[in-house]
Amino acid sequence: MNRMAFYLKVVLPLIVVLFLFYNNLEVTGSISLFIYCIMYRPVIDYQRLLQKGVDLPFARLYLPLLRFKYFKTLYL
């Protein structure tokens, strides 16, 4: 997965969530945002880290502030 594909995978679902909030679907938007933050985003970050050669258990991405440790690897 190259950098542009990663950024698209990160940003496009957020556009959908914002669209839901914009159209007064707050409950659906809130559930979608929750699913994005808790389920979708760690999976995408984990795939990116594995591609970059960082080997860590998937559950460690749920620890607070651990993703900031790998900020350069994920986004640059």
pLDDT in tens, 24-70: 999 999 999 999 999 999 999 999 999 999 999 999 888 878 888 89
Which tokens hold the place of 41?
Answer: 């985003």
User: Rounded CA gap, 76 and 62, in Å?
Assistant: 21
2: confidence class by pLDDT, cuts 50, 70, 90: confident
Chain center to CA of 10: 5
Q: How many domains does the chain have?
A: 1
Q: C-alpha distances in angstroms, 72 versus 13, 39, 49, 59?
A: 22, 22, 11, 20
The domain containing residue 50 runs over which residues?
Answer: 3-75
Q: How far apart are CA 47 and CA 68, in angstroms?
A: 16
Residue 44: burial class (beta carbons within 10 Å; 0-12, 13-18, 19+): middle
